[in-house]
Structure 1
Amino acid sequence: AGAYSTTGSVGGPPLNPGPQIGDTGAGIHMAVAILAALRYRYETGKGQAIDMAMTDNVINMQRSPFLYTLNTGKPVPRSGSGSPLGTSPWNVYKCKGDDPNDYVFACAPRDHNFTAMMKVIGREDLATMNWRVRQSPEMIPVLHDAIEAWTKSKTKKEAFKIFAEAGVPSAPVLDTVEILNDPHFIQRGIITEVVHPQRGKHKMIGCPVKMSMSPVEVRSAPTLGQHNEEIYKELLGLSVDELSQLKA
């Protein structure tokens, strides 16, 4: 549905997008549709069928890339980590270190972001560059190299902190292990810890939705047969003797 065609490096083959936007996105859209249908039933007393195609969901989640095609009539070119709309600067930049994820993302969608970014990296000579000039094919690599020359002297977290304090949209590229141990995500509850009767304490992905009156509790999965007695006795009506015979 277009996601592969827009993902990958310039001149490279189509790549699989990292997040599961098809499966997860379709579920989210379906949940919204169900809520809308329930509201309609509440107002009219009538139910309705919901048609949700996974490909439709993926297309809907690519509204930004499709702006390029809608405005130019051309297919969206693969741009690596650059902006699908061609905004510059907008990319990931190599930082100090040998880890494959020692990169920081930074962008300057507005003039004041760009001015702040150029001052941070010590390139005040570029700080007043016109928006159209910095979007030109000739200037995009020049700006990329200037920014990366600075980020290579910093760790990704140092670069992120300096950019953020200057008002430059930025984020370090974190791997999955770093995310599981990041204090911010733990405090937010998106990384949580549960206790399993066999495995003991272990981390899990929490719920991204925080509700003030009905918080979501993330619990461990049940063990095999953990609820057999409740099901057989309370739902199926078996007696204690009958259940004992089954266990035997």
Structure 2
Amino acid sequence: MDSRSSTAPRQGPLAGIRILAVSQFGAGPFATQNLVDLGAEVIKIEDPTVGGDVARYVPPATNDADSLYFQSFNRGKKSITIDFRSSEGVEVFHHLVEKSDAVFNNLRGDLPEKLGLTYDTLQKYNPAIVTCSLSGFGRTGPRASEPGYDPIMQAMAGYMSLTGEPDGPPGKAGVSIIDFAGGYAAALGLVAALLEAKTNGLGRDVDVSLLDTAVSMLTYFGSWSLNTEWQAVRTANSSHQTIVPAQNFQTSDGWISIFCAKEHFWKKFAELIDLPHLITDERFASFAARYDNREILIPILAERLLQKSNDEWLLRFRGIVPSGPVNSLSEAFEDEQIKARGLIVDVDHPTYGPIKQVASPIATEGSNQAFSAGPTLGQHTEELLRDLLSMDEVEIKRLRDNGAVG
């Protein structure tokens, strides 16, 4: 019988893939969380001498080295505590490498080589092992040995110069967009290398940096800046750099976002706000004309949109003009589309009780099935040593007594 015709539930596409993760805080755990949500087994290696992942202690909600911040990035993972300062601990790690498909880290760029986490070091234990590094500045270059975090990358890559009101100071995005984009980039690179390894039996290094990711996402801004005299500026009401109208507008009771990225959207928009004469006005007859005359057009539109509520305008625009409310987080989580897509999942936690978390955006059969809580520190140490590495109780006790594992 063809397995494809089976009625049994399918597993996620990464089922059977085992990834060792030497990572902490946000960007790295976010990368591997998405791999877990696609079916991979992720074994989180934590340092017992420092209390494990620093994310366990991030407020506002912390509970015995198990914060909600930590839970948001580590659902469905396993935790083993290994001290890399111990030769026996390193030996345990190498045995895990023999039985795994990839080693992921989000350490400082100079540390993977120093700690023996590169393909050059690990290939003798497993020629097919994929090693992926996600760092602030990458493994090469003059800043490779420096720590790097999301706000620093937003500053250095020019994002802050574009964010905020024109008369205000530079600002960062409200969420850690570079951390999470870097996580996606690293996950993509790791999966691409795994695909090759499954084909030819050889692993490789994958080197991803937060700064590289930030710069790569400048895309058309980069093209315009590098090849013309155009310069990006902070724009009022989160408006697009060149498309008009494409921005937030205040209504009688809130704010809405409008994006007229095509001429027919602009025409429908003008009709629906009862200003059809704007369509035939030569000053607004094209993308270029509206941009050149934006200081005239935007006040006209802004005054009109103030005359009705969010709901009234959005009901008119829905399905015709790209638009949406400027929601608070609580309003976003109540949005009918977000609910319909199943983006909020319920997880049972042994001490917090039922908690809600945000799922992976990748929807495919068998994905988003990791409903178990993030692990306590070293929760799976004994299980992995016993069941995966076939160690007996005497050997496990010796490793614990020697401090090789927590």
Q: What band does the TM-score fall into relative to the shorter chain?
A: 0.7 to 0.9
Matched, 1:116 2:273: no
Q: Which residue among 145, 148, 171 is the counterpart of 2:324?
A: 171
Show the counterpart of 1:210. 363
Name the counterpart of 1:221.
Answer: 374
SS, match of residue 220 in structure 1: coil
1:22 and 2:178 aligned: yes
Out of 70, 88, 107, the residue aligned to residue 226 of structure 2 is 70
Q: What TM-score, normalized to structure 1?
A: 0.81
Using CA pairs below 8 Å that are at least 6 residues apart, which structure has the higher relative contact order?
Answer: 2
Query: What CA deviation, in whole Å up to 9, does each residue of 1:132-177 have, x standing for no partner?
Result: 22111xx213322222223223332332232124x21111111111
Residue 294 of structure 2, aligned match among 105, 116, 140: 140
- Is the contact made by 1:66 and 1:76 (CA closer than 8 Å) also made in structure 2? no
Structure 1 residues 208 and 118, CA, compared in 2 at 3 Å: closer, same or farther? Answer: same
2:193 counterpart of 1:41: no
**Shift in Å at residue 51 of structure 1?**
1.8
Aligned letter for 2:291? Q
Counterpart CA distance in 2 for 1:52 and 1:26 is 7
Maintained 8 Å contact 1:108/1:169: yes
**Runs of 5+ consecutive residues of structure 1 not aligned to the other structure:** 243-248
CA distance in 2, matches of 1:142, 1:219: 55
- Structure 1 window deviating more from structure 2 (61-70 vs 14-23): it is 61-70
**Equivalent pair of 1:4/1:16 in contact (CA under 8 Å):** yes
Q: Tell me: CA distance 1:218–1:147, structure 2 relative to 1, closer, same or farther (3 Å).
A: farther
Q: How many residue pairs align between the two structures? A: 233
SS across alignment from 1:193:
strand
Contact 1:93 1:105 in 2 (8 A): yes
**Alpha-carbon spacing, 1:58–1:199, altered in 2? closer, same or farther (3 Å):** same
Shift of 1:7: 1.4
Quick check: 2:348–2:371 contact (8 Å CA) kept in 1? no
**Residues 9-18 or 154-163, more deviating:** 154-163
Determine if the alignment matches structure 1 residue 150 to structure 2 residue 296.
Answer: no
Q: Which residue of 2 aligns with 1:184?
A: 337
Q: Deviations over 1:11-41 (max 9, x none)?
A: 4321112231221111111111112222333
**CA drift at 1:227:** 5.5
Match of 1:246 in 2: none
Structure 2 unmatched runs, 5+: 1-156, 398-406
User: CA, structure 1 residues 78+141, in 2 after alignment: closer, same or farther (shift >3 Å)?
Assistant: same
Counterpart Cα distance in 1 of 2:345 and 2:368? 14
Q: What is the alpha-carbon distance in structure 2 between the residues aligned to residue 219 and residue 144 of structure 1?
A: 50
8 Å contact 2:161–2:170 — kept in the other structure?
Answer: yes
**In 2, Cα distance between equivalents of 1:140 and 1:105:** 17
The alignment's TM-score, normalised by the length of structure 2, stands at 0.52
- Find the aligned partners of 2:275 and 2:255 in 1 and give their Cα distance: 20
Structure 2 counterpart SS, 1:4: helix
CA distance in structure 2 between the partners assigned to 1:224 and 1:52 by the alignment: 27
CA offsets per residue over residues 17-69 of structure 1, 9 Å max, x none?
22312211111111111122223334444332222121110011121322331
> Quick one: which amino acid aligns to residue 265 of structure 2?
N
2:264 counterpart of 1:107: no
Please tell me the residue identity of whatever aligns with 2:215: I
Q: 2:310 aligned with 1:162, yes or no?
A: no
In structure 2, the CA distance between the partners of 1:207 and 1:157, relative to structure 1 (3 Å rule), is: farther
The alignment status of 1:130 with 2:285, answered yes or no, reads: yes
Instruction: State percent identity of aligned pairs.
Output: 27
Rounded Cα–Cα distance in structure 1 between residues aligned with 2:222 and 2:315: 33
Moved more, 23-32 or 229-238: 229-238
Per-residue CA deviations over 1:211-237 (Å, capped at 9, x if unaligned) read 124443343334678667746875764
CA–CA distance in structure 2, aligned partners of residues 154 and 203 of structure 1: 35
Equivalent residue letter for 1:37? A
SS at match of 2:223: helix
Contact 1:103 1:172 in 2 (8 A): yes
Contact 1:121 1:150 in 2 (8 A): yes
- Paired amino acid for 2:219: R
Letter of the 1:15 counterpart: G
